[in-house]
Amino acid sequence: MTESDQPHCDTVCTVRELHHDYGDNAALRGVDFDVLAGQIFALLGPNGSGKTTLFRLLCTLLPIQRGEVRIGGFESGTQPLHVREQIGIVFQSPSLDKKLTVDENIACQGALYGIHGRELQRRRDALLEQLDLTDRRHDRCEVLSGGLKRRVELAKGMLHRPRLLLLDEPSTGLDPAARLNLWTAIRAMADDGIAVLLTTHLLEEADKADRVAIMSQGKLIADGSPHELRSEMGGGIITIVANDVARAEQMLRDQLGLSPQRLHHQLRLQAESPATLIPALVETLGEEAQSINIGRPSLEDVFIAKTGQAFVA
């Protein structure tokens, strides 16, 4: 689903020129983006890219040093209590009381927001049904699988009906089946009009989002739908492994007028019609080339093209 296909078009979260420093270390360097209602927005980046700092600023756990964060129409720096009413949060670390049942954990969350009685029962029943947890409501959380625990965390985060749901590395530690079920639940919430912002270092997870912002060294280096970002890479990526990568690079520049990108022992080329280049590459490089491969562009290719570095989670 692209932004133009979104059934809800109001902006729930606005971030402008956001900077954050830890002493002399700049963790964020002028970050800008918007998150729309009904949209799944993924912040993708390796460890150390600034995702955690940005997440903590959105959660109001860190003060705004420079820039603006506005959620649900409220400014985080001056109206943090109002912002907290607009957000639901699922942290990477578990927040469930393992000795309490699913129902009891959700009731504790309700108490924090003044939700009780029939209203609590009505909201809890609806969330348990939506997340396929009704038959586990009386189970203690200590007996639940990792995927079920994550869905209980989602129910807690959604109980007060936030406009923005913040998820920090939501599928960490989950097996493939549990990860798929979790994403089904996240998509259903977005379809109901909730804005969902999640952090991830998993390329395949970011590919499921409506929009991806790729982070590196405290900056957003690319922003768009997965399809848009991959399309920037052309029709395909040619990867060349050479005996002498420096010599091979010079041969391609001098003889074919190409501008390959060097990454460790590889050369990489973006091309609209990569197959048409292969004969010329083979003829030019000869035995200098160990292998020449063609692949469809991926989000990892976008990261490499923008930074010149491999994506290391």
pLDDT in tens, 245-283: 999 999 999 999 999 999 888 999 999 999 999 999 999
pLDDT tens digits, 118-139? 999 999 999 999 899 999 999 9
pTM as predicted: 0.85
Q: Which is nearest to 294 in space by CA: 311, 277, 308, 280?
A: 277
Number of continuous H segments (helices) and E segments (strands) in the chain: 11, 14
Phi/psi zone of residue 117: left (φ > 0), alpha (ψ -120 to 50 degrees), beta? Answer: left
Residue with token string 């060294």: 217
Q: Token pair for residue 32? A: 């800008």
CATH 3.40.50.300 in the chain: give the residue spans: 3-100+159-230
The boundaries of every CATH 3.30.70 domain in the chain are: 234-296
Q: What is the rounded distance in angstroms from the CA atom of residue 236 to the CA atom of residue 230?
A: 9
pLDDT score, position 313:
63
Q: Per CATH, is 234-296 categorized as 3.30.70?
A: yes
CATH class of 3-100+159-230: alpha beta
Residue 309's pLDDT band (cuts 50, 70, 90): confident
% of residues, the chain, pLDDT over 70: 97
d(Cα 228, Cα 302) in Å, to the nearest integer? 10
Specify the range with the lowest mean pLDDT, choosing from 78-92, 121-135, 166-180.
Answer: 166-180
Q: Which two tokens stand for residue 194?
A: 């909730």
Which range has the worst mean pLDDT, 11-20, 144-153, 174-183? 174-183
Q: pLDDT at position 23, please?
A: 95
Distance CA 288, CA 301 (A): 24
Dihedrals phi, psi of 269, to nearest 5 degrees = -130, 135
Element at 14 (helix H, strand E): strand 11-22
The whole-chain average pLDDT of the chain stands at 92
Q: Per residue in 33-71, pLDDT tens?
A: 999 999 999 999 988 899 999 999 999 999 999 999 999
Render pLDDT for 236-245 as a digit per residue (tens, 0 to 9).
999 999 999 9
Question: Would you place residue 9 in the very low, low, confident or very high pLDDT band (cuts 50, 70, 90)?
Answer: low
